[in-house]
Structures are given as structure tokens and as C-alpha cells.
Structure 1
Amino acid sequence: MSAWLPTAPCTPHDCATHSGPRTRVAAAVGRLLVGIPLVLAGALLTPLLALLGAAVRDRITVLWAHSVLRVFGLRIRVVGQRPAPRRPGHAGGGMLVVANHISWLDIPALGTVFPSRMLAKSEIRSWPVMGVLAARGGTLFVERERLRALPGAVRTVSAALTAGSRVAVFPEGCTWCGQDQGRFTSAVFQAALDAGVPVRPVRITYRAPDGQASGAPAFVGNDTLHASLWRVVTAGGLTAEITVLPPIPAGRHTDRRALAHEARTAVLGTAAAGTAGSGTPVAHAVGMPGAVVRAAVPQTTVASDSANRPASSVHQCDNSIPASASSVRTRS
């Protein structure tokens, strides 16, 4: 494991708890039998979607993402104003969408509101079949463990934003259990500054029927994907709450750290902003390495998909890299 990949003591037993009812085994198996092929179908069709106009592609992506969540047993609640749909024949302006990261479910959760190009670790590109499909579908790749590759990754994201794409990223670099949020890496915000596009913060929360946050969707510590899938489909009454926060206009900040700080404060919410970093972080993410916006209390993060080993999944902790190794420096 790279020295840049931090670790944490969190475990599914401690973090992935659910206070709601449980789904019957037969119903849970049925969810898996339908949900897994639906996810794979989405991956297989992604290259074809890239050939369609932005408006049509968005509608299909939203339908797929909504269906994935519903099939796995989650209700969907959107808080805040949905973005206006893109018109046929118009790509629309670029936008960087940033959200907290809890689970592999976060990708379809974001997709119900903001169909976007995702940022993934470069290892995905070499995967048989799935790597080719991801690349042809517009996924952007970042080499997390190479400092010298960071400026190139920022330029790639900036070019996509400039071309009018929405790019979604989880700037914490690792998932947290949902009780608190981690630090925001700031390098990806440099791409938004370079492209002159707004940043749209989004807060993702998974709730039990009593309205309390549920840890069932959290992909944590020594979790495996099959264990996480089973925990989700057996947790009854889950709701994926997607809070769409006001955009941060282009030009408000000239420094990526200030931009990252405002985005993180928005995602945390006013009440939590003063106590950020007090929770326990957990594993697996897609993000962008770079300088970090520090939480109030220093934390560690889990770096693997299973038993703190380097993971083969797209959901893996990213590196924490000093800001000096990032792209062109902005004014302080």
C-alpha cells in the first residue's frame, strides 16, 4: 500500500448500522437478481449514450440511476431546486459537481439529479471489458499515486469543463460513515477555476424510516462489495436524500483552497460547519488527489476495499498530496 494512502480503524460493525426494519431474505435476493443486471446493463450501454445528444443522454441516465436505487430498495428524496434540463442540441455550460461520499450508491444518487462524467482512478482503464466501457463512456481518469501526474489530471478535468461537460467528483477522497464529512482535496477545484465554471455542492444522506441517518449503505473498513450489497438490500425503508445546494458562481474565488472551503462548508451545513472532522472516516472513494482543506480535528481515512489492502474497486481512497505538487498555483 502506498504511503500516501492513509488508514482508519473503522469497521462495518461499528459504522454500518441500520435502525429500521429488515427485508425478507426472498425479497432481498430478488433485489439482487434484478439490480445487478441493471447496473451491468448501464455500464454496457454507456458508450452508446456518448453518441447521443446531451439532453437525451441526461434523460436516459436519470431513468437508469432512479431505477437502480429503487430496485435496491431505496426511496429517493430531492431537497432543493433541480437543475433545468439541458435542451436538445445544446450541451449547456460546464459545471463541477462536488458531494460528500458514503457509498457506491452515491454515483446513481448523484445521477438522479446531475448526470455527469465521473472521475475514477486510472487502474480502471486497464480492467477487462469494464475499463474500455468506462473510457468510451466519458470517464475521466486520475493517477492517484503519481505526484507528477496531478497537473495533467487537473488539465484534463478543466478541458472537459470548458467543453461544457458536467464533471462529478467526491473531493473527500474517501467515503465516510455519513455521521460527519472529511477534508476536501483542493486540486479538483483548480480545474473549475481554470475553466471558469461554477461549482455545485450536493449533500447525500441515507436515512432510515425514523428519519435518522442510516449506516447500512456505507462502504467501510474491511467491507467487501458482496457484503455491502447484501446489507443494502436487507435494510428496509432506506431513503436516499439528495440535497441540491446553491451553486458557487464562477469568479467568486481566485484561490482553490477558499473555493474548496466554501463548498465543504455548504455540504456540511451551517450547524455542522463548526464541528467538522469529529466523526470517524471510512473507506472507498473516487476523488482527486491534491491539497486538502483540513477538518477541525485531524482524521485518518481507510484506503482499501477489503481488509485495508490495495483495492481493485473504483471506490478507493485517494492520496493526500501537498498543494505545492498541484497545478498552477492561485493567488492566496
Structure 2
Amino acid sequence: MSAPTAPSPWLPTAPCTPGPCTAHPGPAVPAAGAGRGVLRLAAGLAAVLLGVLLAPLAAPLPAAGRLLLVRCWCRAVLRAFGVRVRVTGRPAPEGGPLLVVANHVSWLDVPLVAAVLPGRMLAKREVRSWPLFGPLAALGGTLFIDRDRLRTLPATVAATARVLAAGGRVVVFPEGSTWCGRASGVFRPAAFQAALDTGSGVQPVRIDYRPAGPAAFVGEDTLGASLWRIATARRLDAEIRILDPISSLHHPDRRSLARAAQSTVARESANLPSPSVHQRVSDRPASASSVRTPS
């Protein structure tokens, strides 16, 4: 038997793991119950499947009509899973190129952002093989990145730049891996090169869930376990904050632009619980950290 392949050293990693990170700190939060969880899970998956079936029919519609349908459908998916959404800030007007960048906690981030700022998503190639979600991502024009092959990164950046140059909007989670929401990662600069190359604006977004545990999709967590945890949460609130946009013209390189976006998102961070769960897991090796979650 061959030894397991070590993760690529350049891949972003997080110390978040399913055990401590998906547990709500402090007093126990009662679950919604198995019966309600089954109903929510069935409703949520039905809403996703409906999107897969209707996506080809929406293709001929004008851009404004498609974006409206995407917003309504994403809100329906979130509502079906029992997620309550709060939006603060004013979304950027339609019609101009925009690189939307957000912190990354869960697969829920995708419909949450799309409900407010729909655009073409940048995701890891493994998402394409997910049941229901994968076909829908492909139909929605997701740009897939192979994180195990560094040499493909310039082609991904070029594809992102082409979308922006055509006046489109691309949504990126530049931490490159999910974090549990009680800590955050460094914004990787690669995608910001596409904004520089096209003179596009950057729209930072801050995502928070309360409680943070049920939404977190980290480490070796499975999609099925995450779906059930969300469906059985008694109450799950999601807040998306639209922050002040950043002009790429005011930054000389992608690293400077990435730092500015990360700083803007970090300033809006919710108060972290004390003690942080990462004080208990920080000694875990990188191989045990979050390397399987969407980028």
C-alpha cells in the first residue's frame, strides 16, 4: 500500500477542525430536532435541485432577469435550510466589472453572497463532483481552479480577467480555505491580479454566522455532516456586510491590493469568543488542517 500523498506546501491551510470548531462555545444550543431537520434538509435539497432543472431555461433571459432569478433562488435555498439572512451596507450598482472578495466559513457563503452580489464564482475543481451542487455550479458558469497544480494558476487568473474585462462580476474567497468564523486566514493575492490587469474595483464583503459552529465547514468535515448540522440548528443567522469598495488603481501590485482588502474585512470582524477554539488546536500539523474545502 502506498503512503498517503502529502498536501502541496503552497496550499492555504487553516487550523480549524470539525470537532472543536463546529461546537458552539459556552452554553449548549438546543437542536431543532430530527423531524424538523429532515424537513429542512428535504426542502433545501429540493430547492437546489429546482435550480439545476431551471438553470438552462434561465439562460436565454436578459442579464438583469438572470441576476434577479439568482438572487431569489439563493434566498429560497437559504430559507429552506432555516438560515435567516441580514444584509448591511449598499451593494455596488450593476453594470461594471467587480471583483467581490469575502472571508470563507462555509459552503453557505456561496448562496449567501449570490443572494446579494451574484456573479461568477471561483471554486476548487472538486466542487464540480459534488452531488446537485456541482452540476449547478457548472451551469452557473463557475470558474474552477485546480489547487494541486500551481502551473494552472496563471490560466485561472487570465480567465477571471476576461470576465472582468467584459464587464462581469467574479466572486472569490481569497483565504483559499474555509475557517470556522472565530479566526481568519490571509488573503492570497493571485486573484487580485485580475482586478489590476483590468482596472476593476474590489468589493470586500464580511460574512458572519451566529452561532458560528453549525455553519462552519472545515477540515475533514463532509458535506453530508455539514448539511445535517445546518438543518438541525435551532436558529442560524447569517450576516453579510457590504463594505467600502477599493479601487485597484490606488495599489501598485496584487499583494498591496490583497492586504488592503483583508484589512477592510478584518476591521469588520465580529467579536471572537474567548478563549478561541484555536488555542486548543493550534498545535495540530498542517496536514490535519482545512485543505478540502472550497477555495
TM-score bracket for this pair, using the shorter chain length: 0.7 to 0.9
- Equivalent residue for 2:194? 191
Q: Check if 1:200 corresponds to 2:206.
A: no
Provide closer, same or farther for how the CA distance between residues 129 and 203 of structure 1 changes in structure 2, counting only shifts above 3 A: closer
- Equivalent residue for 2:144? 141
> Which moved further from structure 2: 34-43 or 11-20?
11-20
Provide closer, same or farther for how the CA distance between residues 174 and 104 of structure 1 changes in structure 2, counting only shifts above 3 A: same
Which whole-Å deviations, capped at 9, do the CAs of 1:76-118 have from their partners, x for residues lacking one?
A: 111111334x4xxxxx111000000000100011011101101
**Post-superposition offset of 1:43:** 3.1
- Equivalent residue for 2:273? none
- Equivalent residue for 1:178? 181
- Equivalent residue for 1:153? 156
Which of residues 9, 20, 41 is equivalent to 1:14? 20
Provide closer, same or farther for how the CA distance between residues 270 and 127 of structure 1 changes in structure 2, counting only shifts above 3 A: closer
**Post-superposition offset of 1:8:** 5.5
Provide closer, same or farther for how the CA distance between residues 267 and 32 of structure 1 changes in structure 2, counting only shifts above 3 A: same
- Equivalent residue for 2:119? 116
What CA distance in whole angstroms lies between the structure 1 residues aligned with 2:81 and 2:135?
26
- Equivalent residue for 1:296? none
Q: Which runs of 5+ in 2 are unaligned?
A: 271-275, 280-284
**Post-superposition offset of 1:180:** 1.5
Is the 2:12–2:291 contact (alpha carbons within 8 Å) kept by the matching residues of 1? no
**Post-superposition offset of 1:152:** 1.4
**Post-superposition offset of 1:24:** 2.2
> Which amino acid in structure 1 is aligned with residue 259 of structure 2?
H
Which of residues 18, 24, 37 is equivalent to 2:33? 24
- Equivalent residue for 2:250? 252
> Which amino acid in structure 1 is aligned with residue 107 of structure 2?
W
- Equivalent residue for 2:8? 3
Provide closer, same or farther for how the CA distance between residues 159 and 7 of structure 1 changes in structure 2, counting only shifts above 3 A: closer
Q: Which has the higher contact order (CA 8 A, sep 6+)?
A: 2
- Equivalent residue for 1:83? 92
Provide closer, same or farther for how the CA distance between residues 17 and 129 of structure 1 changes in structure 2, counting only shifts above 3 A: closer
**Post-superposition offset of 1:240:** 0.4
Which whole-Å deviations, capped at 9, do the CAs of 1:20-77 have from their partners, x for residues lacking one?
A: 4321221111001111121122234334433322211111111111111111111111
Relative to the length of structure 2, the TM-score reads: 0.84
Q: Which runs of 5+ in 1 are unaligned?
A: 87-91, 209-213, 273-277, 282-298, 306-314, 319-332
> Which amino acid in structure 2 is aligned with residue 76 of structure 1?
V
Is the 2:8–2:148 contact (alpha carbons within 8 Å) kept by the matching residues of 1? no
Relative to the length of structure 1, the TM-score reads: 0.75
What CA distance in whole angstroms lies between the structure 2 residues aligned with 1:270 and 1:111?
20
Q: Check if 1:46 corresponds to 2:44.
A: no
Is the 2:215–2:226 contact (alpha carbons within 8 Å) kept by the matching residues of 1? yes
> Which amino acid in structure 1 is aligned with residue 164 of structure 2?
L
Which whole-Å deviations, capped at 9, do the CAs of 1:257-293 have from their partners, x for residues lacking one?
A: 1100010011111678xxxxx8749xxxxxxxxxxxx
Provide closer, same or farther for how the CA distance between residues 53 and 280 of structure 1 changes in structure 2, counting only shifts above 3 A: farther
Q: What pairs with 1:231-242 in structure 2 (closer than 5 Å)? A: 231-242=229-240
- Equivalent residue for 1:37? 46
Residues paired across the two proteins, number: 275
> Which amino acid in structure 2 is aligned with residue 68 of structure 1?
V
Provide closer, same or farther for how the CA distance between residues 189 and 7 of structure 1 changes in structure 2, counting only shifts above 3 A: closer
Is the 2:15–2:290 contact (alpha carbons within 8 Å) kept by the matching residues of 1? no
Is the 2:102–2:172 contact (alpha carbons within 8 Å) kept by the matching residues of 1? yes
- Equivalent residue for 2:81? 72
- Equivalent residue for 2:282? none
Q: Which structure features the higher share of helix residues?
A: 2
> Which amino acid in structure 2 is aligned with residue 194 of structure 1?
D
Provide closer, same or farther for how the CA distance between residues 248 and 10 of structure 1 changes in structure 2, counting only shifts above 3 A: closer
C-alpha RMSD over aligned residues = 2.6
> Which amino acid in structure 2 is aligned with residue 65 of structure 1?
C
Which of residues 147, 155, 167 is equivalent to 1:164? 167
Q: Check if 1:101 corresponds to 2:104.
A: yes
- Equivalent residue for 1:269? 267
Which of residues 62, 65, 72 is equivalent to 1:56? 65
